Structure 1
């Protein structure tokens, strides 16, 4: 599987390289060119969210909370991705050139806030990565007897690191697309088996619904936590679980650099569609699989003379393996193992890229190896001259006139010579750059690219000595690391709301953000501890991760951080003192972000920009807001509407102590349609996740060939509006 993923990553990279003649650069490693289409964002978002817990733990929610457990797990854990669409949209308009969310924080709020949120992001990525690999290691060890944990950790590192190193972020998107197709196919295979075909002696859900319903309705088995019927929907414990899930996953979404990568790799429009579609697609997977597998397990358990699994085994996520083996035998185990490896590949690679990008862009470049140390605002790092927004000062000898590499004829000649030398394979030493403006910076970027590749390698390798001891310690002392990771959500919930305000609220201040994070952390932990004591039971890992303590800790941490950030920031500024956005000036002089936005900017003939090719000349925030004003409304209204519908309207409409036969039939049909017909390209979100990337890629092939024929040259990019050069402007003024 690792070899196949490497070939996919390498193959798509080669194809796009031939079409557009785009070289591999530092930025393209971490933003995949910045123009990834929405279909790939949907597939990548859905695959990143599909973890071991999604596959193995979601079906346990049906046994713990009833049939609504799978719904609350899916909606409570996936609606954040839908809401996240608006936050990423706002970030793309404020800092289109940022390669990490933390880059914007440093530019806008300074070093102190940057260090604070860097700690949050790295902690979040570590928890996600560690939790994923520990779960995967334990699960693989369950399937394969006498397999040492250190060996399985090495296998997972090889599986994740191989194609990530080869293809960078762009490679992970195409592998995620392949994974999404395989995931849907495998889950549809499970669904078809459960709904249509079961071994002789069992009653299928779709074949004999009456018998299936009677067994569940008459069962004496009760849900483990809510102590209700398996067919209940809407008890107090179920509502608590849903909203606890809702608040818990926000921290793991907003403070996860892996989640931001989908936005960084796309334009605002594609990002909005990608996160909304990705969230809906993930809900389809988790709800459909968990509902079917959970109910079938309850059915199988009810017709057996004794319990199939103990409560401990259910909490370990063994429901799906038991159902797969019972219904499909050895084939079911192989299918499940493929699903697990697919989940580890996509989520693991995204975390490797996320951690490496933070190390490169937020630690190494700004604090250890900047291109120009002590560079002041408004000074070009290429020529060390000042920028000017005054049109007439283009003629001044002390004003920067540096163009981007994309618009530099000398750089194009350099690239043509180096490309021919690489194709000839006559020498290992490439010809030197000759462009006086860009040559030093290009060498600097190539050095950083080598460092970034080593970061990806070392991050992957470092997972082995980190995960193996964690797994060994947990097994030796019988620790449940999943419960420990649940407690970590309280820490993260103190940081995600200040992070959101830092992007959305223009009056946010550094002191307000720091105060909000620290106060939210202390209040959240104190409330969590206080609720634990008030329960009157001995404080253990099990009792401390119950619904009530976690819900209280998460909500208090969230609310406190929000109120303190608002109060401190509002007290320090007046309404007319809103900060100016500095994020638009986060620019790579070689490949400025405005090049990727030109088609969108010039679709509106009323949009006008300074007639210049300087890399620093970018459209104002007003221009960007006007171009994407319709998508801003979509990014706000659609997620809010879906949240109200799924978190309030649907649960209230379905609320009942025991579902009737007709209600269960309708609910199962909805679940059946959402997953099975989705794979057959009827359900919209699944169509976007599986079909749209292929259509868009074919379109890119045609467009790329057309552009290369029409324009030619190194970059092969057709420009709808050719901006006048500075020399032309200068001659006109003179």
Structure 2
């Protein structure tokens, strides 16, 4: 079979394609890996298996929302949305956006229910195994892997097709090389690296969309702004009317073709969210108070991407009189053509770059999802139940490596068969949709019957595929790639798959209901990492989770109804065709929506991480300055009185704070204070800080008391030579440097004394706590070796 290139004049050279493919991919891999290393070092994160696969279960709202946006933004988001807009007008862009955003909004329900009912879970299939046993577990594990494979295929096909069309790069080479950078940073950084990469990707996407919007509506003189585009689209409808649309106009939501696409889109995308481990992984990684807000904000922000971009580029193609073949439309090449026409090479490079980063960041999400499924649900469940954390990390990385290579091979295989991006996108609901409702009810409804759930998924798949193929044969006389790509067979297959699976599990559970107690999940699914377990116990406030669940059900359902019923259905039923004024309002609403989304998605994670970013900047900048404030015990001693040159007037120091952590240097610092300050009229404060991750929530009182008791026992174990009444002991929990600074200010300490290094391993001359103390305090600090 010949190489399936999709002809379109390549406006960029192959060299540009390889620079983006390899150069940009490598740059992203290096940048993300570096940020992960910085974060783990300055936050003193232990790279356990829990951290690798759940990001420490402490992800906040902003980074979760940006992650959701990025993970749900595929090549199809840019390519397919513009194609359906080119075909059906405003109805195409709206139904693409609304039909694929409600799944994220509704998934917020599963996210909060997961926190309520199985907070210790690592995968959704792990919950199914704990509830139903190995048979059901294997069935839904199959659907999980199948979902990740389909999504991966779509990512690779879309990315390779655009690289091929814009640069002429070999489509097979593109498909194979796309995953390279993804594998590198995911291999080293796990889920945390994925979150960071997705933030950069979301940032880039919104910036590029604003560039295209500004160019089309406010810069390009040929289009003539919003009014000029309106006039050109009206003229285009006269020359080439849309048969499925009201009045043949592109400026209407009354489009039977767009509505059919919307229904297929809605049904199919439920499968790619509700049966996709990557979204459960994000819910698991998020803190309970962030999970709901992250998915709701992420879903609404994502809506603005296909809605605004497709409306802009898809309608621009119509206004500019551009024509495309059926193959080019099927492969989603409208958007890159318009981008290159508007901005030349720069436009092509911008669109190519965001498609590439979308493919790689979404690919990273799929890699971590597959890694978790295999490691927890295959390796630890069936092959090595007693595996250590080190072994699990090793297996996870091996899966990332092998599946990463398999991503390219899978994409090459599908391209070789001549299957288009559009075909894969529209058929995925038929294949995985039957598992949607059984999974959702298993995670939320205590009456769900395991036989009904498993049967619903399997029988629904069989009925959906059968209806799809049968209707294609009846309507078009054959079962072929062409006949199965038609709207009616696709619609029937998608609807039958999801509805039959849901009907079977619901009726079966009513006839023979279970009465499952979700509280036993805590005993069945164990978190070995003590620190992570403490975080889960701290966050698992039942009253908060119950109220959050009520809020989520209410707003998720209302938002979904507004998006797919309240707004579009009256416009469809009435056959309304937009006037110039209503069209202007529609476009401005999209611009405002994407602008607000840009501010939120880019700004919120930075705001939430401001203290961490400030700490790193200050620490790095102070690294070159701390030596001027460094006192070495040997250099500061005077031969006649053992006192340092700067400490000869010891009477000036009435209050001395000495920080101890049990290390030899900190004990030496305490002895130094005893010897040099013990006989003076001074008050000595001994501070021991139990290091704990900084959060904006109060620690659980039981955990806090336990820690403080252990800390006091440690301090009591340190013998003080004399003058017991001169000493006051403090035990605190939190960031050591911050607590030392806080107590120094509170007690009006005159000088801080501490060891040059603590218990933490460091290759630098000074420990990280000491460096942070120097950043925070203006008081003199004495370090001792």
Fold in common (TM above 0.5):
yes
For the pair shown, the structure with the greater C-alpha radius of gyration is 2
Query: How has the CA–CA distance of structure 1 residues 320 and 149 changed in structure 2, closer, same or farther, with 3 Å as cutoff?
Result: closer
Deviation string, structure 1 residues 188-232 (Cα, Å, up to 9, x no partner): 101100011115xx1322364664465345x32123765832112
**Structure-2 residue corresponding to 1:638:** 555
The Cα of 1:259 is off from its aligned counterpart by 1.8
Give how far 1:39 is off: 0.7
Provide Cα deviations, 1:373-431, integer angstroms capped at 9, x if missing partner: xxxxxxxxxxxxxxxxxxxxxxxxxxxxxxxxxxxxxxxxxxxxxxxxxxxxxxxxxxx
Change (3 A) 1:448 1:538: closer
Question: Counterpart of 2:120 in 1: which secondary structure?
Answer: coil
Q: 1:714 offset after TM fit, Å?
A: 5.6
Task: Tell me whether 1:275 sits opposite 2:275 in the alignment.
Answer: no
Q: 2:419 matched to 1:459?
A: no
Which residue matches 1:338?
353
For 1:213 and 1:485, the matched residues in 2 are separated by 28
* TM-score under structure 2 length normalisation: 0.74
In the TM superposition, 1:88-103 aligns within 5 A as 88-103=111-126
The 2-side partners of 1:138 and 1:208 are apart by 32
Task: Indicate conservation of the 8 Å contact 2:274/2:436, yes or no.
Answer: yes
Matching of residues 187-586 of structure 1 within 5 Å: 187-199=209-221, 202-206=222-226, 208=228, 211-212=231-232, 214-216=234-236, 219-223=238-242, 226=245, 228-301=248-321, 308-371=323-386, 444-471=388-415, 473-474=416-417, 478-480=418-420, 482-573=422-513, 577-585=515-523, 586=525
Q: Does 1:697 align with 2:606?
A: no
Determine the structure 1 residue equivalent to 2:530. Answer: 591
Distance in 1 (alpha carbons) for counterparts of 2:461 and 2:304: 34
Q: Which residue of 1 is the match for residue 129 of structure 2? A: 106
Partner Cα separation in structure 1 for residue 141 and residue 557 of structure 2: 29
Q: Per the alignment, in what secondary structure is the counterpart of residue 24 of structure 1?
A: coil
C-alpha distance in structure 2 between counterparts of 1:496 and 1:354, whole Å: 17
CA contact (8 A) 1:73 1:245 kept: yes
Q: Are residues 95 and 598 of structure 1, via their aligned partners in 2, closer, same or farther at CA, if it must alter by over 3 Å? A: closer
Whether the 8 Å contact between 2:66 and 2:199 is mirrored in structure 1 is yes
Name stretches of at least 5 consecutive residues in structure 2 with no aligned partner.
1-23, 620-658, 662-686, 711-785
Deviations 1:489-547 (A, max 9, x none): 21211111100110111011221111211221222223323432442544432332322
In the TM superposition, residue 674 of structure 1 has moved relative to its aligned partner by 1.7
Secondary structure at the aligned position of 1:463 is classed as: helix
SS in 2 for 1:522: helix
Secondary structure of residue in 2 paired with 1:96: coil
CA drift at 1:110: 0.6
1:589, 1:155 → 2: CA distance? 37
Say which is worse superposed, 650-659 or 167-176, in terms of deviation.
650-659
Is 1:33 the equivalent of 2:13? Answer: no
Q: Report the Cα offset of residue 279 of structure 1.
A: 1.1
Distance, in Å, in 1 between the alignment partners of 2:349 and 2:47 is: 37
- Whole-angstrom distance in 1 between the partners of 2:706 and 2:71: 44
Matched, 1:15 2:34: no
Report the equivalent of 1:385. none
RMSD between aligned residues: 2.8
Paired residues of 1:90 and 1:503 also in contact (CA < 8 A): yes
Q: Report the alpha carbon displacement of residue 641 of structure 1 after superposing the two structures with TM.
A: 0.8
1:178 aligns with 2:178: no
Q: Does residue 667 of structure 1 match 2:611?
A: no
Identify if the C-alpha distance between structure 1 residues 124 and 236 changes in structure 2 by more than 3 Å, giving closer, same or farther. same
Number of residue pairs matched?
614
Distance in 1 between the 2:519 and 2:660 partners? Answer: 37
Does the 8 Å contact 2:229/2:316 carry over to 1? no
> Could you tell me whether the CA contact under 8 Å between 2:154 and 2:424 is conserved in 1?
no
Q: 1-side partners of 2:341 and 2:25: how far apart?
A: 29
Deviations 1:217-253 (A, max 9, x none): 5x32123765832112223333222222111110111
Change (3 A) 1:500 1:594: same
What is the alpha-carbon distance in structure 1 between the residues aligned to residue 700 and residue 707 of structure 2?
19
Deviations 1:333-362 (A, max 9, x none): 111111111111111101111111111011
Measured in 2, the distance between the counterparts of 1:258 and 1:669 equals: 34
Confirm or deny: 8 A CA contact 1:501 1:508 kept in the other structure.
Answer: yes
Q: Give, in angstroms, the shift of residue 648 of structure 1.
A: 0.9
Other structure's SS at 1:206 match: helix
How many angstroms apart in 2 are the aligned matches of 1:72 and 1:211? 23
Of 187-196 and 229-238, more deviation after overlay is shown by: 229-238
Change (3 A) 1:536 1:226: farther
Aligned twin of 2:164: 141
Aligned-partner SS, 1:654 = helix
Matches of 1:216 and 1:708, distance apart in 2:
77
Contact 1:221 1:229 in 2 (8 A): no
Instruction: Summarize the Cα distance change of 1:300–1:643 in structure 2 as closer, same or farther, 3 Å threshold.
Output: same
TM-score (norm 1): 0.78
Deviation at 1:311, TM superposition (A): 3.2
1:668-695 CA deviation, whole Å, 9 max, x = no partner? 11122222xx1xxxx2x44331111001
Distance (whole Å) between structure 2 residues aligned to residue 46 and residue 726 of structure 1: 39
Deviations 1:529-580 (A, max 9, x none): 3432442544432332322222222222222222211222233337xx4444
CA separation of 1:225/1:311 partners in 2, compared to 1, >3 Å: closer, same or farther? farther
Contact 1:520 1:558 in 2 (8 A): yes
Whole-Å separation in 1 of the counterparts to 2:65 and 2:522: 26
Are 1:216 and 1:298, in contact at CA under 8 Å, matched by a contact in 2? Answer: yes
Check the 8 A contact 2:476/2:483 in 1, yes or no: no
**CA 1:157–1:240 in 2, change beyond 3 Å: closer, same or farther?**
closer
Instruction: Determine the C-alpha separation between the residues in 1 that align with 2:96 and 2:175.
Output: 28
In structure 1, the residue matched to 2:752 is none
Which structure has more relative contact order (CA 8 Å, sep 6+)? It is 1
Which runs of no fewer than 5 residues in structure 1 stay unpaired? 302-306, 373-443, 602-623, 730-734
Once the two structures are TM-superposed, the CA of residue 711 in structure 1 deviates from its matched residue by: 6.1
2:749 is aligned to none
Change over 3 Å in CA distance of 1:630–1:458 after alignment to 2: same
CA apart distance, 1:75: 0.4
| Whole-angstrom distance in 1 between the partners of 2:356 and 2:708 | 57
| 3-state SS of 1:196 partner | helix
Q: Give me the whole-angstrom Cα distance separating, in 1, the residues matched to 2:155 and 2:660.
A: 43
Structure 1 residues 460 and 529, CA, compared in 2 at 3 Å: closer, same or farther? closer
Displacement after TM superposition at 1:55 (Å): 1.0
CA–CA distance in structure 2, aligned partners of residues 271 and 280 of structure 1 = 14
Q: CA deviation at 1:726?
A: 12
